[in-house]
């Protein structure tokens, strides 16, 4: 094999340093894949460059072109910090599977030495004694990159590279995109595209920065960038609260703060409508009961989409909305306990963005034109959009400046339904 042009550095894209399969070996590999499929995953880096599995990929592609019906092969997408790490990974995988002749071992050892591998490291990876490798390396320059020695005596990279399993070209492309998005927030273990998607989704909903205290106003609305727990709203001034707090485990405590906020800001007998998650429903109920009275539960039926609840394996088609009142509730209108969402939620502003349609239905039956509707978890402003469309006033609070910027632009474009 041709040596790298510059000693001491791995050549980008040149990780196939072991001898190529002979024609007979390749025919055998192809026959095996034709009968059993690709049994050993093909490893690519975060740029989809093949690190290990060139022959398997070639055999698979040829069989598919010849009309063979094969299952998609597994890919492992690994994020490497350097070309040296890519090379070390390829050598480690190949050495475990292939028996080298003395001449082949000598060529591989010399190539690795020219890439700054130590004699000890080469000997460990190739399964040969130091004296044997020393003879193989006669006349090759010396170099020792930083490595760690495991309990088994073998040499490994100091940090295990993040690895993602994928089972199709589409999944591989998604994994590559997610690795680029998450960058230094990747798990240091093998994972799947699905788990990486969940990790990215959680990261996307984190506040982009602390609340900046800015205030934005329109003719019938106001939006403050603030933490709801510190937000100042005139006591007994709000007709109706409609909100969608975060309901992952770490944020359930906010429902208790929401209950206290509603008790301060709602007019006597005013209602709070709060979205709730299924997993921590009991805790949410207890927190809201701390200051308010339970009235009813409304179900938002989602006919256009499902929301899988992975921990309990429930494919949910509804969203509970809990109704609580400040003090005694005196009914003014009939409330329907099932609202059918006729449109899919838009997700252009935030992964948790809700659909406007069910909120307009709720506001029509729970408020009157001119009422002040409040949302202390405004996010991208969907409650405000529904309120303004129906001729209500809107008061909102959102902790994330990025979401505030999106919501204020959205609210500024709204015109009342039926208005000229």
Fold of 215-412: Rossmann fold (3.40.50)
Average pLDDT, the chain: 82
| Rounded distance between C-alpha atoms, residue 295 and residue 273, angstroms | 10
> From its phi and psi, is residue 247 left (phi > 0), alpha (psi between -120 and 50) or beta?
alpha
- What is the 3-state secondary structure of 128-151? CCHHHHHHHCCCCCCCCCCCEECC
Question: What token pair was written down for 294?
Answer: 């339970």
Look at residue 150 and tell me whether its pLDDT is greater than 50: no
pLDDT digits (tens, 9 = 90+) for 266-277: 999 999 999 998
pLDDT given for residue 12 in this prediction: 43
Whether residue 321 is predicted with pLDDT greater than 90 in this model: the reply is yes
The pLDDT of residue 350 is above 50: no
Distance, in Å, from the CA atom of 38 to the CA atom of 189, rounded to the nearest integer, reads: 23
The structure's pTM equals 0.59
The percentage of residues in the chain with a pLDDT greater than 70, rounded to a whole number, is 79
Query: pLDDT (tens digit, 9 = 90+) per residue, 163-186?
Result: 898 889 999 999 898 888 888 778
88-123 pLDDT tens trace: 777 766 655 555 677 767 777 777 776 666 777 777
CA-atom Rg of the chain in angstroms: 31
Model confidence over 8-38: pLDDT tens digits?
A: 334 444 566 666 778 888 898 899 899 989 9
- What are the residue ranges spanned by the domains of the chain? 23-161, 215-412
Best-predicted range by mean pLDDT among 153-157, 247-251, 350-354, 403-407? 403-407
């Amino acid at each position: 094999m041709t040596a790298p042009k510059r000693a001491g550095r791995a050549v980008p894209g040149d990780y196939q340093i072991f001898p190529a399969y002979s024609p007979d070996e390749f025919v055998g590999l192809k026959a095996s894949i034709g009968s059993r499929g690709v049994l050993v995953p093909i490893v690519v880096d975060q740029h989809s460059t093949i690190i290990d599995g060139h022959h398997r990929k070639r055999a698979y592609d040829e069989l598919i072109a010849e009309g063979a019906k094969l299952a998609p092969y597994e890919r492992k997408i690994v994020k490497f910090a350097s070309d040296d790490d890519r090379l070390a990974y390829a050598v480690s995988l190949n050495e475990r599977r292939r028996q080298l002749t003395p001449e082949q071992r000598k060529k591989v050892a010399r190539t690795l030495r020219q890439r700054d591998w130590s004699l000890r490291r080469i000997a460990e990876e190739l399964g040969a004694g130091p004296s044997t490798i020393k003879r193989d390396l006669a006349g090759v320059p010396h170099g020792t990159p930083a490595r760690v020695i495991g309990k088994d005596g073998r040499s490994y990279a100091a940090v295990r590279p993040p690895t993602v399993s994928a089972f199709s070209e589409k999944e591989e492309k998604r994994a590559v995109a997610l690795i680029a998005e998450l960058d230094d927030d990747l798990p240091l273990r093998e994972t799947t595209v699905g788990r990486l998607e969940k990790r990215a989704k959680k990261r996307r909903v984190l506040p982009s920065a602390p609340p900046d205290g800015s205030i934005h106003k329109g003719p019938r609305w106001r939006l403050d960038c603030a933490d709801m727990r510190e937000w100042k709203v005139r006591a007994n001034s709000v007709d109706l609260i409609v909100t969608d707090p975060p309901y992952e485990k770490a944020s359930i405590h906010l429902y208790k703060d929401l209950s206290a906020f509603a008790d301060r800001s709602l007019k006597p007998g005013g209602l709070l409508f709060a979205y709730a998650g299924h997993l921590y429903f009991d805790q949410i109920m207890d927190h809201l009961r701390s200051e308010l009275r339970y009235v009813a539960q409304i179900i938002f039926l989602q006919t256009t989409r499902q929301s899988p609840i992975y921990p309990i394996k429930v494919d949910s088609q509804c969203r509970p909305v809990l109704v609580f009142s400040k003090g005694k509730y005196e009914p003014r209108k009939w409330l329907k306990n099932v609202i059918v969402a006729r449109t899919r939620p838009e997700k252009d502003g935030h992964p948790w963005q809700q659909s406007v349609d069910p909120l307009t239905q709720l506001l029509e039956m729970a408020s009157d034109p001119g009422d002040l509707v409040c949302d202390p978890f405004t996010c991208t402003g969907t409650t405000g959009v529904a309120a303004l469309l129906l001729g209500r006033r809107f008061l909102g609070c959102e902790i994330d400046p990025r979401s505030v910027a999106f919501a204020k632009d959205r609210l500024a474009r709204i015109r009342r339904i039926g208005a000229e």
